[in-house]
Structure 1
Amino acid sequence: MKVVICGAGQVGFHIARYLAGEQNDVTVVDQSPELIGKINDQLDVQAFVGHAAHPDVLERAGAGEADMLIAVTFTDEVNMTACQVAHTLFNVPKKIARIRQQSYLDPAWQNLFAREHLPIDVIISPELEVARAIGRRLRVPGAFDLIPMGNDKVQVIGVRCDEDTPIINTPLRHLTTLFPDLNIVIIAILRGERMIIPSSTDQMLPGDEVYFVTDKEHMGRAMAAFGHEGKQTRRIVVIGGGNIGTYLAQDLEEADEGYSVRIIESSKARARQVAEALPTTNIIAGDGLDSEILEEANIRQAETVIAVTDHDETNILASLLAKRFGAERAVTLINKTSYGPLITTLGIDVVVSPREITASTILQHVRRGRIRSVHSLRDGFAEIIEAEALATSPLVGRPIKDAKLPKGVLVGAIVRDEEVIIPRPDTVFEENDIVIMMAAAETVKKVEKMFAVRLEYF
């Protein structure tokens, strides 16, 4: 597949690295010589300096032969124009654009992106996606990640194990015997810098980060098995009144679930804007690293502090300071990958990566076959994939044990009509099943082929 990526920032770099690793033909364009130099040094792709919306630049990038254009520069207008040029002059089949300014996304103006006007096939709004991801994690105490799949009937949940976790040091094949009501499948174990897609003989150890799949109806029981029966967060302090903080507070207000939200914003002008947008939310103008401001926000009574400023260092320090003052849980926005290994050892409970969330959203539109959604783990080491099995899939009619799944692929759940099936070796795939699975990076292409739409389907 030929892909042109406009923008060499963190998201553009991540997508380029991922697609290049799968032997796609990738070209990256950006105005920054430093960012292009980094890509040329580290990735096996074509990259050059240029304005992504200029026709001559896109022509040089190979837009005339491209299957897809992904516009993720820092400027909405450049992304939108690049898609327009790619459509009008080069007839690029699929165009994806990152749009941050919510004015463009107001439902009142949705006709703007109609094919006959400004033809963008997929719009990604990072701040909105991140706010939604944080909101989901707030609703499941003890989870550091939560991904709804299978028409929201299945939850993929990430939890940390410690010495008190009831099911550690138990081979996975024994979980069903020892915990007969535990209707889950462990699909990934993150141990230090290593990710394990487990077999039946593996076991969870203290310090592991574990992803498991469960029926949404059994989520409470599953979390209890990991030692998490905490009450749902209600009192929240958000540090950072930018788009993410504002969208999150708005979402919690509209949920009508009894949330009490306070926002700390360092810019007085921005604080006034947020106060106008959120009249029922308490907005405090001040520095989230100022102990007096934290006291004013009643941080000692907060169940969760959420640090979502534009600066990783501020988010980390504010989270640690808030926990020292008595906040029970810290959710921290981190952009720099180099900070990742340090975070959990510092005592931060949940790390949110805008880059990974945005990249996952884009990847589901890159994947071929009947792929419904994708969630990338640990910079693309593996993917949680949701796919639909059509009649022509080689899986249909076979039990899992005979399906010849590639090594590194583990089925976590099957949604069949309204039923959620936690799979066993003799579970048979049926036509139109929605299959949720973990796939190591090197197996993703094989998974795509298993769910490809063949001509005889039509």
Structure 2
Amino acid sequence: MRIIIVGAGEVGYQIAKFLTYEGADVVIIDRDGAKLRRISEELDIATIEAEGSDPSAFKEAGADKADLLLAVTNSDETNMIACLLGKAMFNIKRKIARIRNPDYFFNKELLGKSNLDIDPAINPELEAAEAVARLIENPFASEVIGFEQGKILVIGFKIPKDSPVNGKKLKSVRSLINQEFIIGVIERDENVIVPSGDDIIQEGDIVYMPIPREKIQEVAQSLGVMATPSKKIMILGGGRIGYYIANKMENKADIKIIEKDSERCKFLSKHLGKTLILHGDGADKQILLEENIQNTDTYIACSNNDELNIMASLLAKKLGAKKVISLVNRTDYVPLAHNLGIQSVLSPRLITASIILRYLRRGEVISLTAIAENKAEIMEIEVSNKSSLVGRTLKEGIFPKNSILGAIIRDDRIIIPSGDDLIRERDKLIIFALKDSIKEVEKLLT
């Protein structure tokens, strides 16, 4: 497969890094030579220093033979022109673009097949807001990923010191808490593992578990965490992400947005019906105290400044906010923020890269999400009649090392599997896999 990536920023880099594992034929185009040198030094792929809308650069990249174009620069206009070139001049079959401006993103006619033919367009701010909304509804979690239209959620959460499973072997936990569950991945400091029964759960571990939506409350309580949705929310920053979060959640919770820019405050007041808009600095200790930060269920730092978001989140946590969520674009800040004690850290760039990845997989992949700083993936797949999984049970050891089946979805039923469960054609499976086992998992699907 030949893939052209326009944009060598963080999203383009993460996708290119992933594709090197897959053995795809990749060319990346960007006008920034420094970004291209970074990629050339770290990854074995071709680079072209040029504007992302330059037809000669597309020709040099072999666009006439390309199967896929990914346009992920910081400019919507460059991304759209790149897709137009890919369609009109080189007949590239599939084009995926990052589109941030809502006037473009929600214009289905512009992006549709008869015009730019972008499929899909991905809005990082909107996707980040959706991810934050899931965390608000499940405040004990550090990450929430929905599958099967939200009927089953993969919850990532940090094990507290007083949890009944802290210090226990995994194989003893199910009987201890009297719940059916599987831990698919454990993130511990810099390490990520698919655990076995003899692995011991430790305080501070971030564990990822598939849980049917209707059982989240009881599973959370069994693990020593509370699952009551947030009702009082404070947001630092009224940019696009802050606006999207408030717009989605203001009918479910009391929301305050603290925004420095007076003109932006006017926009928010006009377009949000129930959210309280405050003109000021959402990282100012005095303002936070005046606005009763100690009674706030969730504080969300989503300004355009990564460092400010991290420091403001730490301040809000110190002042008594029950949960803090920090959004950072620089991916190297994600583990740092976690280590500083921020419960939930999201990167819109990583979210965007993760969404794009699902379109690059083989087999019957319905959706895919990268987790644990892209060191592992959760795949939702449908079992075809060609799959070698059909008619086999888990106790046969059918899944490769560093992968595990987390759930089976069959006729609207969700099964947390045991060794005797048989896999059938048309089952949907939730599979956890580390990077080194993904190719082996894919072989089972085709």
- Deviation digits for residues 59-81 of structure 1, max 9, x if unmatched? 11221111111000011111111
Contact 1:167–1:225, Cα closer than 8 Å, also in 2: no
Q: Is 1:222 aligned with 2:216? A: no
Contact 2:235–2:282, Cα closer than 8 Å, also in 1: no
Q: Is 1:405 aligned with 2:399? A: yes
Alpha-carbon offset, residue 49 of structure 1: 1.2
Mapping for residues 236-255 of structure 1, pairs under 5 Å = 236-253=233-250
> What is the identity, as a one-letter code, of the residue corresponding to 2:52?
A
- Larger mean CA deviation between 415-424 and 330-339 belongs to 330-339
| Aligned equivalents of 2:154, 2:166: Cα separation in 1 | 19
Instruction: Give the corresponding residue for 1:210.
Output: 207
Alpha-carbon offset, residue 96 of structure 1: 0.3
Alpha-carbon offset, residue 335 of structure 1: 1.9
Alignment partner of 1:392 out of 364, 376, 386: 386
- Larger mean CA deviation between 362-371 and 297-306 belongs to 297-306
Contact 1:395–1:403, Cα closer than 8 Å, also in 2: no
Instruction: Give the corresponding residue for 1:27.
Output: 27
Distance 1:215 1:289, change over 3 A: closer
- Deviation digits for residues 112-170 of structure 1, max 9, x if unmatched? 22212111121111000000000001111211011111332211111111321111222
Give unmatched runs, 5+ long, in structure 2.
Answer: none
Q: Is 1:313 aligned with 2:307? A: yes
> What is the identity, as a one-letter code, of the residue corresponding to 1:177?
S
Distance 1:281 1:59, change over 3 A: same
| Aligned equivalents of 2:344, 2:385: Cα separation in 1 | 41
Mapping for residues 106-255 of structure 1, pairs under 5 Å = 106=106, 109-180=107-178, 182-253=179-250
| Aligned equivalents of 2:167, 2:276: Cα separation in 1 | 46
> What is the identity, as a one-letter code, of the residue corresponding to 2:225?
H
- Larger mean CA deviation between 50-59 and 284-293 belongs to 284-293
- Deviation digits for residues 205-250 of structure 1, max 9, x if unmatched? 1121111112222111111122112532111110011100000000
Distance 1:177 1:291, change over 3 A: closer
Query: What SS is found at the alignment partner of 2:15?
Result: helix
- Deviation digits for residues 15-69 of structure 1, max 9, x if unmatched? 1111112221111111112211211222111112111122111111221111111
Contact 1:72–1:97, Cα closer than 8 Å, also in 2: yes
Instruction: Give the corresponding residue for 1:103.
Output: 103
| Aligned equivalents of 1:230, 1:415: Cα separation in 2 | 24
> What is the identity, as a one-letter code, of the residue corresponding to 1:400?
L
Instruction: Give the corresponding residue for 1:88.
Output: 88
Q: Is 1:326 aligned with 2:324? A: no
Query: What SS is found at the alignment partner of 1:450?
Result: helix
| Aligned equivalents of 1:295, 1:270: Cα separation in 2 | 23
Query: What SS is found at the alignment partner of 2:89?
Result: helix
| Aligned equivalents of 2:443, 2:227: Cα separation in 1 | 42
| Aligned equivalents of 2:205, 2:254: Cα separation in 1 | 32
- Deviation digits for residues 398-430 of structure 1, max 9, x if unmatched? 112226221111000000011111111111101
- Deviation digits for residues 247-306 of structure 1, max 9, x if unmatched? 0000002xx32x111111111122211221113211112222223332443323212110
Query: What SS is found at the alignment partner of 2:385?
Result: coil
Normalising to structure 1: TM-score of the pair? 0.94
Normalising to structure 2: TM-score of the pair? 0.96
| Aligned equivalents of 1:334, 1:444: Cα separation in 2 | 27
Alignment partner of 1:423 out of 396, 414, 417: 417
> What is the identity, as a one-letter code, of the residue corresponding to 2:208?
Y
Contact 1:307–1:318, Cα closer than 8 Å, also in 2: yes
Contact 2:317–2:323, Cα closer than 8 Å, also in 1: yes
Contact 2:129–2:241, Cα closer than 8 Å, also in 1: yes
Contact 1:238–1:306, Cα closer than 8 Å, also in 2: yes
Query: What SS is found at the alignment partner of 2:184?
Result: strand
Query: What SS is found at the alignment partner of 2:29?
Result: strand
> What is the identity, as a one-letter code, of the residue corresponding to 1:393?
S
Alpha-carbon offset, residue 177 of structure 1: 2.7
Q: Is 1:17 aligned with 2:11? A: no
Distance 1:415 1:230, change over 3 A: closer
Alignment partner of 1:442 out of 432, 436, 443: 436
- Larger mean CA deviation between 443-452 and 86-95 belongs to 443-452
Give unmatched runs, 5+ long, in structure 1.
Answer: 453-458
> What is the identity, as a one-letter code, of the residue corresponding to 2:158?
R
Distance 1:218 1:279, change over 3 A: closer
Contact 1:14–1:379, Cα closer than 8 Å, also in 2: no
| Aligned equivalents of 2:227, 2:174: Cα separation in 1 | 24
| Aligned equivalents of 2:295, 2:59: Cα separation in 1 | 58
| Aligned equivalents of 1:38, 1:380: Cα separation in 2 | 19
Query: What SS is found at the alignment partner of 2:281?
Result: coil
